[in-house]
Amino acid sequence: MLKTETTYYKTPIGIAKIIGDTNGIQSVSVLNDDEISQELLHQKTPECLQDCVLQLQEYFNGKRASFNLTVNPKGTSFQKKVWKSLLDIPYGKTRTYLQQSKFLGDVKAIRAVASANGKNPLWIVIPCHRVIGSDGSLTGYAGGIWRKKWLLAHENPVKQQSLF
């Protein structure tokens, strides 16, 4: 049996907790800065998680729009189907829960789709933050609405227009 490894990476919006092994990244979650000791934050990153940390750094530095990682999330086949559909939402764009349900072929599955989005174990890597309410509201984000707002602004910054 493979040994599961864990590492922590400080991002502009919290501490990313990354769990995985040589078969892939199983989860990326976000913690508040005060939820982890500085000692853990400064431990050496296991080799199998180094690429994930590097790609997250690139994302937060504005140099990466999508991730190229081997992932191995735990979930039901329906959840995995929903999470896979999130990868089709382009960087800097959003989709509503209703659009995502239609995309998956069942408009009536909107609540199940929203529930599966909420159980997404791969924060940012599988971009559930790009799904919004039909009225444009920033609803339903396990990491906190303020983080969802930050991520959407990061991916689609407001351009300063010239006054002349």
**Owner of token pair 């227009």:** 161
In one-letter notation, the amino acid at residue 110 is: I
Q: Which helix (H) or strand (E) holds 97?
A: helix 97-103
Sole residue written with tokens 């997250």: 56
Identified catalytic residue from 15, 122, 128, 132: 128
Q: Which long-range contacts (CB under 8 A, 24 or more apart) does 8-12 make?
A: 8/36, 8/40, 8/41, 8/43, 9/45, 9/53, 9/56, 9/57, 10/41, 11/56, 11/60, 12/60, 12/150
**Cβ-based neighbour number of residue 43 at 10 Å:** 11
Catalytic (active site) residue 48 = no
**Which tokens is 59 given?**
């994302």
By annotation, the residues acting in catalysis are 128
